[in-house]
């Protein structure tokens, strides 16, 4: 024993160890062996007070003394030290060529406890990793809360756990829970009320860290809280605050069967889980806010697209009922409503329009939805408001009883209604309603619905104005045609009167003057000769006026010959006027239409001569399968920018003549390119 320092060697071995002789005397040992029996200060194995230790060791020493040297004799035994019963593993071996025995004693129970502690920590870390992965990959607060509370209760052996967050009223609500005792929904509500009015939450709010409530939870809680602890068979509580942006936002509360404290690492893990929930709350709130913004933008875009679509359909001259039928499905999709009713009254004539997502609604509706009834019942609803939204009609006091009964018979739940105004008067209403379901709304939703209904209101007024305008245009067109026809008849009458009456008188006068000039005494009279010249000029002017009022060429030989005659009559040394035609099928318009075409050409060419300062003008007639065209252009200075000149009688007259024969007249003009007048007449 003196040749080797066994004492120093034994101190680095992780088990209790000693060397003894065959009689049990302890020669050397390490501190673990000393800790095991130190309070007894034993010097010999026989001095061990516990027979559970002593007897097996002595017996094995005897066996080892009789056996082969160096072969260990292992065995296990249970022994009690105080209140603890523990299992030990012992190895005894005889040193070769000596009477010394090496005894090693390992605490198997402690090893198992160490393994269990290691497994516990691994489970806790696995729980923490699992929650972290979930919070990193999901924005669903409910899933995160459910997994957190369930896994935590299972890992830490908590019989019950709750996660509480505030609602809109700032009262804490249980968003998730775990319990070994079955809990129904009504009991959850009762638990929420107890916790909000009790002491547990008050204690937890006083701290920004995890608090462990031991016996205090039994002795100081309210009577209702004590009943909860008894129901869940817990005697202690752990309250972990959920901190968001430096403020306690909620709590995780666990119930425990024991009242002793948790390990430090367990508290740390619970606080980390609560921190993860806090992060998830922020992420979920940001995600929900972004989703709401996204939904709002999508809805706004859909609403704008719908308004644009309705506007296009309006300009396609669709009837109001056809337009709303096309748009109603989009309105229902955007707003979530199931039906749309439009009722208004103008000139003491009520009108009603129903548009439904499900066309069988009217068959199943047992209420009275006639025009007069709806209009009459709606008046008191909008006397003081421009719009009204009701989530549940059956619970509303704002709706008159007759309307409420009518809508209840049709299973209408939510209602949005707005007035149709004409100037300052309310002439009807637009209502959107849901069938069999209650809708909620935000300020953004209300803004969208209001925009749609205001646009529909504008459409209704525009349709009425357009109908009135169409009637007036038709009347104006009828009067214009009648006026132009009267003008042509009057020109025809005047031309006939000039030709038949004034022309004959001038002819007779000219004949008499001619007879006087045969007298030799008068033949050389300058006054008589001058009179003869004047009479001849008058005859020529009468003939010209008569032809302009009623060109005989147009009636006798057709439009093209009449236009050639017109160009010939308008000859001017300062401007060249050309006529071209490309009419394979010829001109087949009736005479009244040809007259108007001729008058338009006459007015256009006359304006060119008077105002354009052009050196060249062209008149061209052509056609395609559907239309006849007359194009007149010049290289002049264009039509002046003065609006009064643009709206001159000549231009207005040409346009009215074009309209009177079912045609259109387009005028384009600039200083660089001159003026182009295009007349188009549909041949069908």
Q: What whole-number distance in Å separates Cα of residue 109 and Cα of residue 348?
A: 99
- Say yes or no: domain 6-113 is CATH 1.20.1250.20: no
Yes or no: say if 272 and 264 are a contact pair by the CB < 8 Å rule.
Answer: no
Q: What whole-number distance in Å separates Cα of residue 390 and Cα of residue 413?
A: 8
Q: What whole-number distance in Å separates Cα of residue 375 and Cα of residue 342?
A: 10
Q: What whole-number distance in Å separates Cα of residue 211 and Cα of residue 83?
A: 31
Q: How far is CA 362 from CA 172, 376, 409, in A?
A: 45, 20, 11
Q: Which residue has tokens 């523990």?
A: 86
* pLDDT computed for residue 644 by the predictor: 45
368 Cβ contact partners less than 8 Å away, ≥ 6 residues apart: 406
Span(s) in the chain for CATH 3.30.450.40? 138-288, 317-441
CA dihedral 638, 643, 646, 648 (to 10 degrees): -140
Yes or no: say if 574 and 610 are a contact pair by the CB < 8 Å rule.
Answer: no
Q: What whole-number distance in Å separates Cα of residue 463 and Cα of residue 318?
A: 10
User: Residue 243: how many CB atoms within 10 A of its CB?
Assistant: 18
Span(s) in the chain for CATH 3.30.565.10? 552-682
155 Cβ contact partners less than 8 Å away, ≥ 6 residues apart: 123, 124, 127
- The CATH architecture assigned to 138-288 reads 2-Layer Sandwich (3.30)
Yes or no: say if 187 and 284 are a contact pair by the CB < 8 Å rule.
Answer: no
What tokens does 196 get? 């909000």
Q: Compute the C-alpha angle 31/36/38, nearest 5°.
A: 75
* pLDDT computed for residue 446 by the predictor: 76
Q: Which CATH superfamily is domain 317-441 in?
A: GAF domain (3.30.450.40)
Q: What whole-number distance in Å separates Cα of residue 517 and Cα of residue 524?
A: 8
Assigned CATH for 552-682: 3.30.565.10
Q: How many Cα atoms sit within 13 Å of 426 on the Cβ side?
A: 18
To which H or E segment does residue 515 belong? helix 503-516
What tokens does 435 get? 């069938």
Q: What whole-number distance in Å separates Cα of residue 502 and Cα of residue 542?
A: 8
Q: Which residue has tokens 């003057």?
A: 513
Evaluate the CA torsion angle 570, 571, 572, 574 in order and state its sign.
Answer: positive
Span(s) in the chain for CATH 3.30.450.20? 6-113
Task: Note the pLDDT tens digit of each residue in 380-424.
Answer: 555 556 677 888 877 777 777 777 777 777 778 888 888 777 777
Q: Say if strands 247-256 and 236-244 run parallel, antiparallel, or are unpaired.
A: antiparallel
Q: What whole-number distance in Å separates Cα of residue 49 and Cα of residue 42?
A: 9
**DSSP structural state of residue 169:** T
Q: Say if strands 616-623 and 576-582 run parallel, antiparallel, or are unpaired.
A: parallel
Alpha helices (H) along 158-263: 185-197, 200-205, 216-219, 223-231
Q: What whole-number distance in Å separates Cα of residue 105 and Cα of residue 33?
A: 8
Q: What's the average pLDDT block by block, 10 residues per block, for the chain (684 residues)?
A: 66 80 85 72 79 75 65 70 72 79 81 69 67 64 80 83 82 87 86 85 71 69 84 84 79 80 71 74 74 79 81 78 83 84 72 77 56 55 67 77 74 81 75 83 75 77 70 66 65 66 69 70 70 75 67 74 85 89 83 83 88 90 90 88 57 82 87 90 80
């Amino acid at each position: 024993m003196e040749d080797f320092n066994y004492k120093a060697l034994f101190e680095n071995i992780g088990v209790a160890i000693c060397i003894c002789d065959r009689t049990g005397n302890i020669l050397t040992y390490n501190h673990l062996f000393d800790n095991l029996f130190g309070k007894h200060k034993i010097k010999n194995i026989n001095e061990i007070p516990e027979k559970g230790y002593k007897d097996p060791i002595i017996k094995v020493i005897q066996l080892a003394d009789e056996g082969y040297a160096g072969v260990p004799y292992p065995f296990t035994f249970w022994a009690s030290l105080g209140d603890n019963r523990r299992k030990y593993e012992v190895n005894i071996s005889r040193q070769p060529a000596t009477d010394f025995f090496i005894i090693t004693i390992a605490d198997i129970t402690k090893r198992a406890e160490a393994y269990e502690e290691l497994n516990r920590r691994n489970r806790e870390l696995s729980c923490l990793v699992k929650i972290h992965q979930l919070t990193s990959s999901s924005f669903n607060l409910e899933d995160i809360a459910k997994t957190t509370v369930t896994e935590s209760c299972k890992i830490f052996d908590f019989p019950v756990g709750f996660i509480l967050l505030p609602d809109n009223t700032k009262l804490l609500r249980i968003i998730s829970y775990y319990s070994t005792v079955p809990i129904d929904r009504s009991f959850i509500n009762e638990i929420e009320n107890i916790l909000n009015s009790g002491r547990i939450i008050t204690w937890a709010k006083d701290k920004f860290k995890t608090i462990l409530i031991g016996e205090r939870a039994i002795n100081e809680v309210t009577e209702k809280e004590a009943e909860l602890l008894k129901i869940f068979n817990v005697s202690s509580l752990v309250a972990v605050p959920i901190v968001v942006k430096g403020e306690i936002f909620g709590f995780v509360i666990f119930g425990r069967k024991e009242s002793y404290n948790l390990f430090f690492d367990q508290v740390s893990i619970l606080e980390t889980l609560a921190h993860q929930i806090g992060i998830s709350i922020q992420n979920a709130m940001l995600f929900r806010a972004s989703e709401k913004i996204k939904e709002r933008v999508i809805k706004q875009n859909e609403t704008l697209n719908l308004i644009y679509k309705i506007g296009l359909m309006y300009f396609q001259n669709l009837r109001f009922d056809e337009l709303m039928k096309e748009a109603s499905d989009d309105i229902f999709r955007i707003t979530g409503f199931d039906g749309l009713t439009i009722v208004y009254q103008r000139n003491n004539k009520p009108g009603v329009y129903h548009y439904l997502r499900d066309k069988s609604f009217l068959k199943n509706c047992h209420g009275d939805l006639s025009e007069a009834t709806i209009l009459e019942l709606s008046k008191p609803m909008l006397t003081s408001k421009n719009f009204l939204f009701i989530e549940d009609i059956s619970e509303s006091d704002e709706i008159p009883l007759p309307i409420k009964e009518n809508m209840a018979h049709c299973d209408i739940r939510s209602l949005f209604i707005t007035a149709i105004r004409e100037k300052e008067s309310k002439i009807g209403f637009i209502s959107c309603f849901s069938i069999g379901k209650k809708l909620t709304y935000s300020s953004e939703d209300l803004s969208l619905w209001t925009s749609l209904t205001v646009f529909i209101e504008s459409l209704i007024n525009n349709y009425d104005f357009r109908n009135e305008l169409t009637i007036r245009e038709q009347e104006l067109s009828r009067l214009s045609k009648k006026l132009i026809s009267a003008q042509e008849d009057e020109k025809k009458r005047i031309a006939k009167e000039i030709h038949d009456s004034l022309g004959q008188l001038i002819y007779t006068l000219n004949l008499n003057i001619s007879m006087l000039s045969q007298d030799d005494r008068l033949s050389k009279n300058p006054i008589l000769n001058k009179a003869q010249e004047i009479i001849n000029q008058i005859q020529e002017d009468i003939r010209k006026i008569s032809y302009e009022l009623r060109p005989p060429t147009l009636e006798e030989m057709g439009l093209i010959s009449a236009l050639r005659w017109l160009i010939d009559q308008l000859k001017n040394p300062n401007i060249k006027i050309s006529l071209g035609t490309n009419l394979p099928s010829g001109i087949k318009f009736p005479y009244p239409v040809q007259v108007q075409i001729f008058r338009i050409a006459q007015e256009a060419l006359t304006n060119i001569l008077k105002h354009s300062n052009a050196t060249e003008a062209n008149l061209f007639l052509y056609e395609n399968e559907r239309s006849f065209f007359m194009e007149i252009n010049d290289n002049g200075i264009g039509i002046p920018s003065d609006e009064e000149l643009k709206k001159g009688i000549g231009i207005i007259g040409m346009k009215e003549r074009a309209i009177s024969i079912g045609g259109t007249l387009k005028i384009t003009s600039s200083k660089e390119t001159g003026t182009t007048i295009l007349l188009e007449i549909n041949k069908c």
